[in-house]
Amino acid sequence: MEVIPVLDLKGGVVVHARMGMRSEYRPIDTPLSPSSRPTDVARGLLSIYPFTTFYIADLDAIERRGDNNVALMELKRAFPNLVFWVDNGVANLGNATRWLDAGIGYLVIGSETQRNRELIRHFQHDERVVLSLDFRGDAFMGPAVLLEDADAWPADIIVMTLARVGSAVGPDMARLAIIKANGPGRRVYAAGGIRGADDLAALAQAGIAGALVATSLHNGTLTGAQIARL
């Protein structure tokens, strides 16, 4: 079970994500960091446990309101040994190729910004590409063909349940089971609603490879010792 901390970036700072309502996200206030600067928050998360991978959502880029590339470069310089999974709303081959060539991090292709399955099919066998299947409530956010064509999926799949992000209601076990069954051989990662070690243990028992976590790390309900035991 791999635990991947989350940094949601907006306006150059880390924001507190809650239930996918991006217009209401505010700079994070956490006991782990003296500020909402990405490098400070990342350092605070690393004080809990020596994580090797971070997930980053560039919310400005996803919403076509600019980007957080300066903050991403600062993170890369400050933590050169970390692997960053970055969702920045890339939806075409040229931008995806330029991002991967820059070497800042892995590319998360989010279904909500895709118009078809062609981009993910192109990078299906690239280990630096992760597919995020995004859901809001029961609705899939993205082209139906991308959800239905599991043969086009890469090795790593995030199941992003936006309504559960920051909600502490638990992971969507039923949806995770469906995605895992539809994509045999893929590593499936849960995102949204993770409350603590018990949820992670349940996910591991269900064969889920890992989880994207934020709130439970900041509020202390998930500790480094618990992660180590997992």
Tokens of 103: 């070497």
pLDDT tens sequence for the chain (230 residues) = 999 999 999 999 999 866 555 566 788 999 999 999 999 999 999 999 999 999 999 999 998 999 999 999 999 999 999 999 999 999 999 999 999 999 999 999 999 999 999 999 999 999 999 999 999 878 999 999 999 999 999 999 999 987 666 556 789 999 999 999 999 999 999 998 899 999 999 999 999 999 999 999 999 999 999 999 98
Domains of the chain, earliest start first: 2-229 (3.20.20.70)
Could you give phi then psi for residue 222, rounded to 5 degrees?
-120, 120
Q: Write down the number of H helices and E strands in the chain.
A: 10, 11
Cβ contact 5:213 at 8 Å: yes
